[in-house]
């Protein structure tokens, strides 16, 4: 049998994950390895970390532990994604090239900010997030760790003008230095007391965006571009759901669901490491498909994943009779 026929005919087959077995103490939150360049280290000042979560809906009847309401249940995958500017430049159009650096799995009712506060921070990195992480204490923690952050400011958030800036750049309606209210209530002091950058950005549809950042030096257009990059993590969530098959679960216990999701994300990271270390041009989706049909073959990994003349690779003759060529 020709190996090229096997690979090409089954190339569209999805990667099948093994049924999640019950593992005592299976981790629900874990840091994930970050792939960095071998010859040149990623410039940490340019490191972009996208924070968001996605919900996987579950039946409240079968998954009672994940019940959110009488007719709705689910779990959340909280993720901090890396978007290196240079290490994966060949895959800028491939959402799978964005490596997760941290993830946590919680019931759907847990607020996004809760696992984010437990996330290890990287000094010098830029964290981009939506209003689900609207927490002045978390902002203060990011700033104290030497991180830059970009997020949205709520429309009803009062600010005090410190200095008006000239609005420069496409779509920039306003640029100013502001401070937040000193107190959150009569008994609570605002944990973020430093000056912030407020940038108002026009949108083709809907109200303008009020962005806020602790970066007081970079051009307003650059900060707006950082927030715009948030869509990449949405593409990543879509990619892993489509390619790693975590819409349906083999078990109904909390441990089984978390183990299957944890395994799926781990598989993705391992494939990304292989792609980086072997300098492969194929997309991660293609690599997953190839591995799904060659996982039991005694073939060097690089040979299996490197495009070549597979038509010339034939199985060595054996003494076993061929049922169809008697």
Tell me the three state secondary structure of residue 135: coil
Nearest in space to 299 (alpha carbons), one of 87, 111, 224, 308: 308
Mean pLDDT (whole number) for 151-169: 90
Q: What is the pTM of this model?
A: 0.74
Residue 136 has, within 13 A of its CA and on its CB side, a CA count of 17
Are 154 and 136 spatial neighbours (Cβ–Cβ below 8 Å)? Answer: no
Residues 49 and 82: their CA atoms lie apart, in Å, by 5
Stretch 29-44: mean pLDDT, rounded? 41
For the segment 185-212, what is each residue's pLDDT rounded down to a tens digit?
778 899 999 999 999 999 988 889 999 9
What dihedral do alpha carbons 37, 39, 44, 48 form, nearest 10°? -30
- Integer angstrom CA distances of residue 190 from 132, 136, 161, 195: 18, 7, 17, 13
Euclidean distance between CA atoms 28 and 40, whole angstroms: 33
Alpha-carbon distance of 49 to 55, in angstroms, equals 20
Q: Which of 238, 239, 235, 244 has the alpha carbon at shortest distance from 263?
A: 244
Are 267 and 261 within 8 A, CB to CB? no
pLDDT per residue as tens digits for the range 293-304: 887 877 787 778
Most confident listed range (19-23, 112-116, 264-268): 112-116
Name every residue whose Cβ is closer than 8 Å to that of residue 311 and which is 6 or more positions away in sequence: 2, 4
Please give the mean pLDDT across all residues of the chain.
77
pLDDT value at residue 309: 43
**Rounded Cα gap, residues 73 and 63, in angstroms:** 7
State the distance between the two ends of the chain, measured CA to CA, in whole angstroms. 15
Could you tell me the pLDDT band of residue 26, with boundaries at 50, 70 and 90?
Answer: very low
Q: What is the pLDDT of residue 320?
A: 63
Residues of the chain above pLDDT 70, percent: 75
DSSP 217-268: SS-HHHHHHHHHTTHHHHHHHHHHHHHS--SS-S--SHHHHHHHHHHHHHHH
C-alpha of 220 from chain center = 25
The phi-psi region of residue 93 (left if phi > 0; otherwise alpha if psi is between -120 and 50; otherwise beta) is: alpha
């Amino acid at each position: 049998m020709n190996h090229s026929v096997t690979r090409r005919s089954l190339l569209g087959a999805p990667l099948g994950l093994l049924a999640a077995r019950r593992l005592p103490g299976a981790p629900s939150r874990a840091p994930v390895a970050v792939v960095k360049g071998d010859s040149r280290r990623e410039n940490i000042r340019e490191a972009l970390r996208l924070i968001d979560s996605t919900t996987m809906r579950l039946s409240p009847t079968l998954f009672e532990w994940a019940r959110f309401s009488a007719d709705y249940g689910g779990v959340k995958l909280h993720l901090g994604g890396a978007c290196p500017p240079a290490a994966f430049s060949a895959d800028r159009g491939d959402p799978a090239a964005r490596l997760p650096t941290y993830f946590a799995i919680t019931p759907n009712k847990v607020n996004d900010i809760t696992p984010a506060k437990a996330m290890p921070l990287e000094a010098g990195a830029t964290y981009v997030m939506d209003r689900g992480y609207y927490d002045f204490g978390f902002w203060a923690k990011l700033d104290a760790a030497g991180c830059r952050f970009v997020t949205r400011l709520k429309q009803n958030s009062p600010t005090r003008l410190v200095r008006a800036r000239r609005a420069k750049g496409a779509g920039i309606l306003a640029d100013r230095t502001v401070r937040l209210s000193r107190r959150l209530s009569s008994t609570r002091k605002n944990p973020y007391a430093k000056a912030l950058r407020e940038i108002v950005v026009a949108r083709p549809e809907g109200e303008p965006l009020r962005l806020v950042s602790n970066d007081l030096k970079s051009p307003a257009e650059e900060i707006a571009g950082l927030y715009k990059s948030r869509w990449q993590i949405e593409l990543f969530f879509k990619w892993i759901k489509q390619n790693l098959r975590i819409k349906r679960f083999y078990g109904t216990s909390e441990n089984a669901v978390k183990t299957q999701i944890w395994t799926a994300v781990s598989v993705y990271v391992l494939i990304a490491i292989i792609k980086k270390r072997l300098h492969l041009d194929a997309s991660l989706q293609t690599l997953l498909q190839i591995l799904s049909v060659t996982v039991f073959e005694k073939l060097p990994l690089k040979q299996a994943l490197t495009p070549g003349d597979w038509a010339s690779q034939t199985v060595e003759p054996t003494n076993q009779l061929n049922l169809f060529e008697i």
